[in-house]
Amino acid sequence: MTYFTSKEQAVDVFKRLFTILLEDEEFTSRMRAADLTLRLIQTKPDLELYIDPEGIKVDADTGSAIINIKMSCDTAHALWSGKLLMPVALATGRVRVRGSVAKVLEFVPLLQPAFDRYPKIAEQAGVAAA
Amino acid sequence: MTTTPAVLDPVAPGTLTPELEKLRLEVRAFAQDYVRPRVARNDHAEADDFDWELVRQGHDLGLLRLVVPKQYGGLGYGVLGVAVALEELAAVCAGTALIFGATLLGQAPVLLSGDPKLQQQYLPLFNAADPVLACNAVTEDLAGCDLLIPENAPYAADVLSARRVGDNYVLNGRKRFITNGKVAHFASVYGNVEGFPGATGLTCFMVSLDAEGVTRGAVADKMGYRACLGSELAFTDLVVSADQVVGGEGNGLIVNLQQMNMARATVAAISTGIARGAFDLAKGFAAERIQGGAPLHRHQFTARKLAEMTTKIDASRLMYLRAAHLADNEIPAPSYEPAAAKLFADRIAIEVAQEAMSIMGARGYLREHGIEKFVRESFGARIYEGTPEVLAIAITEALYAQEDDD
């Protein structure tokens, strides 16, 4: 099933999700302390988000980040909705990460608020529940 | 004609980071100065004798927290750091290396879980004053690779059962050949949820081995790796909370495969260490032994043997370093490189150990010279964490795999 009806809808949802995370001072200070940058490469519809403590860039030609995560938008929707478990998504290759695994392990717990906030964001944008 | 650009491996001997090079030298000194004097005693001891003092010294050096992230008190060296350390230990005693390697296996599901609660519960234990060991409990009497190969899972027989009761699971069954089972604080235990045929409902549980319902069974009397203990673990009506499940119910095969891909580079490092340990003895002997007026290594037959042996060890090391480096930089960890590294390293460990014994002649056959221990132990890694047959399946599947991001 394709949950996103347009690229604009997908950009809106995922950009809003990470904007909320960046508003959390603990999140941004941990990113700064670990010198973390994140590049989300999402497909179907295709979009790229580059996230650093200063903000979010969409489809910018930023090159590689410290952590690069590739998945489809539907997989991202299932993941953030809590319908797909992260270890399973990673182990089955539905989510592919390139970059220091040590940094990823440090980063994943910081994403916890995203799981709490995502369902509401998706619902407000008119995305069907996963 | 289309050409594929060569990809240079960023990790090669001499190019380890200064931190990893320092670790390698520290572990080498520990292996030579502290482990070596205890090798014969631990090898000749009763099967269930365990050298806690050796573990304590290794713990003080940080060997139990090499892969644990720094925020949990670990050293954060990743799989590469573990592999480098295990080669150094195995060049002196493979059984000692496996005590620490098996602990990595027990830690792996917690690391892979991405679950801060599980990580906070288990990972700081490895930074405590006293050493804590972990283990991974997969193998059973009737099920080995049936718990590793997804196509085999429906046919797995008599697998440890997990019955869901409210917010808990009740585990019943037995595990066999579990390295560190006798001495570990906790284990990742794989059981099949009732109602699923074979092992299709395989699930990974984190289990305290001091809990009521766990019985640590007899230690196996092995031909090698005697410094570490492999034992049975029996689970009788053991109650495990659902929050101790890693990766969700029914996803045990996936977690297990991921764990294997992390661990295989480190087992390849152990095999490389065994080959190196045997080679070093033969090299020393070939320099001292005079025949026909010249040291053995001046004779072409022996020179050819030594050249082949050292080349195989170099190749093996490069393969495990590449595999470990990838395991530290890709999720999911690749399946091809770790399996290929282990397949090669396990084979050359046997070849090099046997050749080393032949170079040393009658002395090689005597226990006092230490070669026979390397020969015995060279066969061990062919069995655990994937036999050559299981590795061949992983390698060929990777060859034909198509990347699909749905």
CB-nearest partner of B331 from A101, A109, A112: A101
**Cα–Cα dist B77/B100, whole Å:** 14
In 3D space, the residue among A75, A86, A83 whose CA is nearest the CA of residue A45 turns out to be: A75
Kind and range of the H or E element at B174?
strand B168-179
The whole-number pLDDT of residue A91 equals 75
Tell me the chain A residues in contact with residue B331 when contact means C-beta distances shorter than 8 Å. Answer: 90, 95-97, 101, 104
The whole-number pLDDT of residue A93 equals 82
DSSP 8-state code for residue B5: P
Tell me the chain A residues in contact with residue B104 when contact means C-beta distances shorter than 8 Å. Answer: none
CB-nearest partner of A104 from B70, B327, B331: B331
Is residue A88 in a domain?
A: yes
Tell me the chain A residues in contact with residue B327 when contact means C-beta distances shorter than 8 Å. Answer: 101
Tell me the chain B residues in contact with residue A96 when contact means C-beta distances shorter than 8 Å. Answer: 330-332, 405
For chain A, the average pLDDT equals 89
Is residue A129 in a domain?
A: no
Pairing state between β B134-137 and B186-193: parallel
Chain B residue set in contact with A, beta carbons under 8 Å: 69-71, 76, 78-79, 111-114, 116, 119, 246-248, 251, 254-255, 257-258, 327-332, 403-406
B152 φ, ψ to 5°? -85, -20
**Predicted confidence band at A1 (pLDDT cuts at 50, 70, 90)?**
low
In 3D space, the residue among B352, B371, B351 whose CA is nearest the CA of residue B361 turns out to be: B371
Residue B17 is which amino acid?
T
Are B82 and B73 a contacting pair, CB within 8 Å?
Answer: no
Distance from CA of A125 to the nearest CA of B (A): 23
Tell me the chain A residues in contact with residue B329 when contact means C-beta distances shorter than 8 Å. Answer: 98-101
Tell me the chain B residues in contact with residue A98 when contact means C-beta distances shorter than 8 Å. Answer: 329-330
pLDDT digits (tens, 9 = 90+) for A71-120: 999 999 999 998 988 777 887 788 888 988 878 877 777 788 888 899 99
Query: Measured between CB atoms, does A1 come within 8 Å of chain B?
Result: no
The whole-number pLDDT of residue B6 equals 37
Q: Is B246 in Cβ contact with A102 (below 8 Å)?
A: no
Size of interface A-B (CB pairs under 8 A): 84
Is residue A61 in a domain?
A: yes
- For B76-129, the three-class secondary structure string (H helix, E strand, C coil) is CCHHHHHHHHHHHHHCCCHHHHHHHHHHHHHHHHHHHHCCHHHHHHHHHHHHCC
Distance from CA of B59 to the nearest CA of A (A): 21
Alpha-carbon B281 to chain mean position: 24
Taken in order B194, B197, B181, B90, the sign of the CA dihedral is: negative
Q: Is A108 in Cβ contact with B114 (below 8 Å)?
A: yes
Structure-token pair, residue B193: 């949820």
Distance from CA of B41 to the nearest CA of A (A): 38
Architecture of domain B253-399: Up-down Bundle (1.20)
CATH number of B134-250: 2.40.110.10
- Cβ neighbors of B91 (< 8 A, separation 6 or more) are B31, B273, B274, B276, B277, B280
Tell me the chain A residues in contact with residue B259 when contact means C-beta distances shorter than 8 Å. Answer: none
Q: Which A residues in the span 11-40 are in contact with B, Cβ-Cβ below 8 Å?
A: none
What total number of domains does chain A contain? 1
Is residue A59 in a domain?
A: yes
- We report the CATH number of the domain holding residue A22 as 3.30.1050.10
Alpha-carbon B392 to chain mean position: 18
Q: Is B258 in Cβ contact with A98 (below 8 Å)?
A: no
Structure-token pair, residue B113: 């879980």
In chain B, ranges of CATH 2.40.110.10 domains: 134-250
Q: Cis ω on the peptide bond leading into residue A109 (within 30° of 0)?
A: no
Give residue A53's domain range: 7-124
The whole-number pLDDT of residue B86 equals 98
The whole-number pLDDT of residue B403 equals 56
pLDDT along chain B (406 residues), means of 10: 38 73 96 97 94 98 95 93 97 98 94 86 96 96 84 89 97 97 97 93 96 96 96 98 92 87 95 98 97 96 98 96 93 91 98 98 93 97 92 91 58
CATH for the B18-127 domain, from 1.10.540.10, 1.20.1250.20, 3.30.70.1140, 3.10.20.740: 1.10.540.10
**Cα–Cα dist B406/B403, whole Å:** 9
